[in-house]
Amino acid sequence: MSAPFLILETGQPVASMRRHGGFPHWIRVAAGLARDEAVVVDVEHGSELPSRDGFAGTIVTGSGAMVTERADWSERSAEWLREAAHAGMPLLGICYGHQLLAHALGGEVGYHPDGREMGTVELDLQPPAADDPLFAGLPQRFPAQATHLQSVLRPPAGATVLARSVHDACHAFRWGEAAWGLQFHPEFSATHMRGYVNAREEALREEGRCPRRLSRTISATPQARRVLRRFVRHARGH
């Protein structure tokens, strides 16, 4: 049997979407992992971070928390991720996980000066993506689901930016040979994304945006999901 993946659970979906399960379930299904191929550790609620031994790689979920809050569980997780990255463990941070990994490696995370990015956004791959194990061969531009207020404002020293959107200059980065951060959600379906827009309806209206119009622009994002599945294959050495 293949070594399992460790999923660090850093938060819960918005309440209205929890009937579909939590982030680890969404990630596991989207990644094509069987139930026994993933071990979930709920770091947000104080579960102890395990030894790295015996895991094929680690995936860090999204969260409603903010990296800049410097919560104890978050900072402990950042220290664990820093050590894991330097040890060469395959790592994939998603949304909050992307920001936490950047913070752990010395980058800067904060509120984006232009506010919220939400919905199906267009990603533009940067030249280094052509040789990247997760992005090589994907279309130069493809859609992905995103919802966030904070961003990686400055990538870690030595990191390679792989993708950007009109809103966010660092939508994906690689550090070293085996650590990646994705601001977008490769595990989100169009249903997940619409659920998030509905949940944020009031905030969007306060920002002068029409949730109904935004919902109509949401589409499937199969190329984004391929990035997640490629991480799994890459971590297993395929």
SS3 59: strand
**Helix, strand and coil in the chain, % to nearest 5:** 35, 25, 40
Catalytic one of 98, 148, 185, 234? 185
Respond yes or no: is residue 210 known to be catalytic.
no
Residue-level length of the chain:
238
Catalytic residue flag (residue 170): no
Measure Cα distances from 66 to 5, 56, 147, 160 in Å: 25, 27, 13, 23
In whole angstroms, give the CA distance from residue 82 to residue 105.
Answer: 6
Q: Are the beta carbons of 154 and 101 closer than 8 angstroms? A: no
DSSP H helix total and E strand total for the chain: 7, 11
Q: Active-site residue among 95, 103, 170, 234? A: 95
Q: Which of 9, 44, 117, 187 is catalytic?
A: 187
What's the rounded Cα separation, in Å, for the pair 32 and 160? 27
Name the residues annotated as catalytic: 95, 185, 187
